[in-house]
Amino acid sequence: MSNAMDWALQAQFEGTGGDRVALFSLDNGHWAVSWAYGAPHGPQLVSYDPERAKDVFDTTRRQYDEREGLGYDSRTAWQNGSL
């Protein structure tokens, strides 16, 4: 039996400074937000309930947009599927 979780990417963005943030839903009912920072920092993944994950992701996206701008945003790049 595998303990692997199935992840579904729901939304993502990249700040102009290179940091990437993604929102995932997990097959176990939790959601997660992933931050992939530029060197020398490593990635971070935090599991949340669905509403909290969406709130954290939206707040983080807004902060990046205000602070440095977004180089990529799945809201405008994806068709039929971005939050």
Task: Output the 3-class SS for 26-56.
Answer: ECCCCEEEEEECCCCCCEEEEEECHHHHHHH
50: preceding bond cis by omega (within 30 degrees) = no
- On the question of pLDDT at 79 being above 70, the answer is no
**pLDDT tens figures, 35-49:** 998 777 778 999 999
The domain ranges of the chain are: 7-75
Q: What is the mean pLDDT of residues 79-83?
A: 48
- On the question of pLDDT at 56 being above 50, the answer is yes
**pLDDT tens figures, 1-46:** 456 778 899 999 999 988 999 999 988 888 999 999 877 777 899 9
pTM attached to this predicted model: 0.81
